[in-house]
């Protein structure tokens, strides 16, 4: 058993005894220990390498070297893919120029990621990994794409050190989160407020500018969430395995309403492990002082959560036709080479279109009274929960056979229902809605221009 655990990990074997004691895969142990070390390092980084005590150059170098060390510890020499992917795309940004860099970086970074995912799964048969080197590459791919689009939209070109620091810093190299390049540079340089709106009713909040808020309360809160998520995952996940949804005896002997309830419970128990990873990554960034998002109306500091809008920024908001389908397909490619990912996101397209159709065509009839709106909210909430669980089953099962077996056991009812709703309750495409809004906006712009011209002539 120990030999199997070692062979399933490309990183360090130093923590093998802990793996044997806890009966957890070594790659998982390495990942969690590195994240805990990153948490302690983040506190040290905030206290002893604060911008008031050292230069941005030192902070960049230390953050990058620590990130590379943690990556090597977890993934061995496969971590060099992180540097190679970042180096290639940096060269592309220099050679192609501002006008086209965002397109080339998106294609190359996603292509490199897809190549690694395909070879890992289908060539080298590393499917047994519970934590693989393409996981961090997914976050780096988002960062590469995000910064390329930011530069295309008018931001300055980063130096090579700044670029590697942004992509491979110890706070986010293993699990993210993805963040804005501008926010990261402001954090390193100690000027986060230049990218934050600190004005209240036209007045600058001087107190907010001078204070360096402590993240301790937020970090403790997120660590408590991590602890609870881990307990729930370790105690409940084995009680309701997702694979039981496609068990022949379960399908044959369980009433359909009970299958619906079990589906919801089984998918609910898969979430805590993701909450654990995301929230711990979030706590690491906050412990370093990164993620401060201004003050609320009561003067209390706000801290960012693990939310990334990269695909919305680079695809949905820029794609003129079928942005929903394009964004879902891009997400499927980003997640990996398993067919289950594509089944999930293709199903997600249909469900999203149906949900949009219901919201545009049915919801207005329930806004007449609070009681009707409450009924609508309850029904749509329940339908959304079941639809999400139905959609993500292939994401967990990964393979085509079990995924289609599950959908057949449900007679593809949600697929069929959503397609019928989307056909019966059409919604105008996004580009047509935007086109209809232009005539109403254009006159006001023209009148503004004419007024300004008249004022200039008068003066």
Rounded to the nearest angstrom, the gap between the alpha carbon of residue 351 and the centroid of all alpha carbons in its chain is 20
pLDDT band at 260 (very low <50, low <70, confident <90, very high): very high
User: What percent helix, strand, coil does the chain show, rounded to 5?
Assistant: 75, 0, 25
**Other C-beta atoms lying within 10 Å of the C-beta of residue 269:** 19
The pLDDT of residue 458 is: 43
Phi and psi for 269 in degrees, rounded to 5? -75, -10
Alpha-helical runs (H) found in 303-399: 310-311, 323-335, 339-361, 370-397
The structural domains of the chain, with segments of one domain joined by +, span: 2-195, 307-449
Whether pTM > 0.75 for this model: the answer is: yes
For residues 185 and 158, the answer to whether their CB atoms sit within 8 Å is yes
Which of 45-49, 211-215, 440-444 shows the lowest per-residue confidence on average (mean pLDDT)?
440-444
pLDDT (mean) for 100-107 = 91
Query: Any bridge partners for residue 203, and if so which?
Result: 200
In angstroms, the CA 252 to CA 267 distance is 20
pLDDT for residue 9 = 61
Residue 452 is predicted with a pLDDT of 46
As a whole number, mean pLDDT of residues 304-317 equals: 67
Which residues 6+ apart lie within 8 Å of 381 measured at CB? none
Higher per-residue confidence, 110 vs 428: 110
DSSP three-state, residue 429: coil
| Distance from C-alpha of 356 to C-alpha of 353, rounded to nearest angstrom | 5
Interior/surface letters 147-183, b for 16+ CB within 10 angstroms, e for the rest: bbbbbbeeeeebeeebbbbbbbbbbbbbbbbbbbbeb
pLDDT for 205 equals: 47
Token pair listed for 423? 């056909």
* Residue 127 pLDDT greater than 70, yes or no: no
Tokens of 138: 């997914």
Do 291 and 180 touch, CB atoms closer than 8 A? no
pLDDT at position 145: 92
Q: What is the pLDDT of residue 151?
A: 92
pLDDT tops 70 at residue 459: no
pLDDT of the residue at 386: 95
The residue that leads in pLDDT, 371 or 193, is 371
Does pLDDT of 423 surpass 80? yes
**Per the structure block, which two tokens stand in for 223?**
């660590």
pLDDT of residue 454: 47
Q: How confident is the model at residue 64 (pLDDT cuts 50, 70, 90)?
A: very high
Average pLDDT along the chain: 84
No. of H helices and E strands in the chain?
Answer: 21, 4
What is the mean predicted confidence (pLDDT) over 259-265? 94
Q: Are 102 and 89 in contact (CB under 8 A)?
A: no
Q: Which is it for the CA torsion 280, 174, 149, 341, positive or negative?
A: negative
Convert the pLDDT of each residue in 14-50 to its tens digit: 999 998 998 888 888 999 999 999 999 999 999 999 9
Percent of the chain's residues with pLDDT above 70: 83
* 82 preceded by a cis bond (ω within 30 of 0): no
Express each pLDDT in 160-178 by its tens digit.
Answer: 999 999 999 999 999 988 8
Residue 64, both tokens: 């990058």
Q: How far apart are CA 215 and CA 222, in angstroms?
A: 11
């Amino acid at each position: 058993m120990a030999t199997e655990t070692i062979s399933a990990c490309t990183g360090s074997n130093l923590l093998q005894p802990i793996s044997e004691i806890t009966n957890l895969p070594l790659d998982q142990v390495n990942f969690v220990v590195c994240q805990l070390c990153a948490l302690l390092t983040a506190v040290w980084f905030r206290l002893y390498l604060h911008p008031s005590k050292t230069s941005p150059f030192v902070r960049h170098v230390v953050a990058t070297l620590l990130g590379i060390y943690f990556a090597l510890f977890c993934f061995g020499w496969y971590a060099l893919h992180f540097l190679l992917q970042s180096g290639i795309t940096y060269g592309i940004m220099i050679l192609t120029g501002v006008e086209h860099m965002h397109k080339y970086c998106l294609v190359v970074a996603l292509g490199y990621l897809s190549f690694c995912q395909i070879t890992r799964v289908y060539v080298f048969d590393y499917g047994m990994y519970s934590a693989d080197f393409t996981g961090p590459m997914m976050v780096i791919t988002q960062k590469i794409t995000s910064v390329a689009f930011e530069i295309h939209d008018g931001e300055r070109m980063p130096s090579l050190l700044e670029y590697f620091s942004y992509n491979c810093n110890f706070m986010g190299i293993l699990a993210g989160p993805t963040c804005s390049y501008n926010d990261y540079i402001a954090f390193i340089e100690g000027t986060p407020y230049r990218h934050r709106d600190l004005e209240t009713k036209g007045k600058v909040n001087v107190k907010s500018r001078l204070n360096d808020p402590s993240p301790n309360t937020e970090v403790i809160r997120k660590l408590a969430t991590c602890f609870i998520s881990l307990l729930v995952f370790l105690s409940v996940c084995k009680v309701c395995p997702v694979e039981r949804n496609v068990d022949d005896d379960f399908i044959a002997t369980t009433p359909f309403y009970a299958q619906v309830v079990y589906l919801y419970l089984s998918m609910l128990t898969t979430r805590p492990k993701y909450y654990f990873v995301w929230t711990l990554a979030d706590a690491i960034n906050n412990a370093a002082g990164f993620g401060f998002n201004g003050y609320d109306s009561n003067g209390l500091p706000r801290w960012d959560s693990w939310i990334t809008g990269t695909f919305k920024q680079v695809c949905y908001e820029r794609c003129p036709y079928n942005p929903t389908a394009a964004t879902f397909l891009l997400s499927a490619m980003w997640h990996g080479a398993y067919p289950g990912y594509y089944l999930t996101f293709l199903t997600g397209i249909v469900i999203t279109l149906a949900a949009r159709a219901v919201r545009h065509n049915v919801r207005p009839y329930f806004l007449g009274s609070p009681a009707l709106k409450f009924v609508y909210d309850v029904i749509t909430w329940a339908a959304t929960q079941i639809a999400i669980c139905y959609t993500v089953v292939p994401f967990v099962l990964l393979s085509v056979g079990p995924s289609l077996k599950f959908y057949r056991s449900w007679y593809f009812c949600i697929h069929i229902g959503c397609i019928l709703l989307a056909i019966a309750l059409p919604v105008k495409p996004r580009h047509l809605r935007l086109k209809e809004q232009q005539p109403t906006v254009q006159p006001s712009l023209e009148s503004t221009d004419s007024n300004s011209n008249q004022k200039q002539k008068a003066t």
